[in-house]
Amino acid sequence: MPTHKLLHHVLSIRNSKPVCMTLGIDNRCNLNCTFCLVKHREQTQMPLSLARQAIDAFPTIRSVELGLGEPTLHPNFAEIVRYIHNKGLKVGMGTNGTMLPKHNKDFWQMFSWLSIGITRFIDNPFQEIPDYDWLPCRHSYILVLHQGTPSSWEQQLEKFRAKNAGYVSIRLDVDANSKTKARFEDEYPDAVKYQERLLPYKGICYWACLKPMVYPNGVIYPCCSAKHGDYYRDYRLGMVLNKFNLQPIWVDCARCGRTEELSMIHKFLNDPDPQFM
């Protein structure tokens, strides 16, 4: 569920009743992108039984986002998707797209949306560009500009767009150095603006009350975006197999993509003026 839609459910924070969740079923990936935020984490998979329990642990959710590594590598990927779909929940996924042809068109009709990474096609002009327009669900694309992005990237992107309709979100590697950032400030400044949205956030985080993240080992976290520091030790909210309570927690994150939204939520929940929204 997009962020702007999540904010319509801000009152659910007071009741700790999330409207969707991110389910990290597999930390592995069959690619080795230099800019990946997940590649340095423990390469684990979520057991099928735990995936079912994690989904059932949040009875108020309306949708499930499969995330973290490459979800399609999970040996029970199809069973997990069908379990979500048969519960009447929407399902979406971030994927590198390599395993999409493994399943037929009917299977992908169970999805509400897909976000497909296309950076490898832009980085390698000799790699064949696939046609994703056969997919029946709504799908968009993500291109990450990074230190190794070739000078021909815009031409490659045009070749991709010639074969594929759909929106392409162009982002700068969140760990890009100053030289890379300066380069793309000239070539594609909007990508730099995306990176600049990732600001330090110190304060109360409400995100788990809207969209909790469940790691492959069943631990619940506020989100999946942190990479460094003591995040995974300090910000645990419990286990799906035990009793847990999704409450706002105090965080000190070096990089957060939702600083504006969190400030807005905090003001709404604490401002006595009923006119605020």
Pairing of the two strands 199-205 and 249-256: antiparallel
Q: Does residue 224 share a domain with residue 188?
A: no
- pLDDT of residue 277 exceeding 60, the answer is no
3 with 103, same domain: the answer is yes
Instruction: Give yes or no: residues 9 and 101 share one domain.
Output: yes
| Kind plus residue range of the DSSP H or E element containing 138 | strand 138-145
Residues 100 and 123 in one domain: no
Same domain, 185 and 234: no
The yes-or-no verdict on residue 230 having pLDDT over 60 is no
In this predicted structure, what is the pLDDT of residue 34? Answer: 86
Do 169 and 122 share a structural domain?
yes
Say what percent of the chain tops pLDDT 90: 51
Give the domain range for residue 211.
1-117+206-249
Q: Select, from the ranges 127-131, 174-178, 203-207, 239-243, the one with the highest average predicted confidence (pLDDT).
A: 127-131
Q: State which amino acid sits at residue 46.
A: M
pLDDT of residue 276: 45
Q: What is the mean pLDDT of the chain?
A: 85
Dist CA 118 CA 175 (whole Å): 19
Predicted pLDDT at 2: 52
Of 8-17, 49-58, 225-234, the poorest mean pLDDT is in 225-234
> How much is the average pLDDT of 188-215?
84
Contact call for residues 10 and 268 (beta carbons, < 8 A):
yes
Question: Would you say residue 106 has pLDDT above 90?
Answer: yes
Q: Please give the tally of structural domains in the chain.
A: 2
Residues 8 and 57 in one domain: yes
Nearest to 45, CA basis, from 67, 25, 20 = 25
Residues 109 and 213 both lie in one domain: yes
In this structure, what token pair is assigned to residue 135? 């997919």
Element (H, E) at 214: strand 213-214
104 and 19 belong to one structural domain: yes
**Residue 49 has which token pair?**
């039984």
Rounded CA Rg of the chain: 19
89 neighbors 61 (Cβ within 8 angstroms): yes
Q: Residue 228: what pLDDT? A: 42
Residue positions counted in the chain? 277
Tens-place pLDDT, residues 22-53: 999 998 999 989 888 777 777 889 999 999 99
Residue 7 domain-assigned (yes or no)? yes
What are the φ/ψ torsions at residue 209 (nearest 5 degrees)? -75, -15
The CB density around residue 199, as the number of other CB atoms within 10 Å, is: 13
How far is residue 60's CA from residue 101's CA, in Å, rounded to a whole number?
33
Strands 213-214 and 220-221: antiparallel
Let me know whether 226 and 108 are in one domain: yes
Q: What are the phi and psi torsion angles at 163 (to 5°)?
A: -105, -15
Angle at 63 (CA atoms; ends 267, 239), nearest 5 degrees: 80
Question: Quick check: is 254 in a domain?
Answer: no
CA 168/CA 267 separation, integer angstroms: 33
In which order are the strands placed within the sheet that holds 168-172? 168-172, 138-145, 113-117, 90-95, 63-68, 20-26, 213-214, 220-221
pLDDT at 117 over 90: yes
User: What residues are paired with 145 via a beta bridge?
Assistant: 172
Asked whether residue 100 is assigned to any structural domain, the reply reads: yes
**CATH number of the domain that residue 106 is part of:** 3.20.20.70
For the chain, the first-to-last Cα distance in angstroms comes to 20
- pLDDT tens-digit readout, 153-199: 999 999 999 999 999 999 999 888 889 999 999 999 888 887 777 78
Instruction: Check whether 87 has a pLDDT greater than 50.
Output: yes
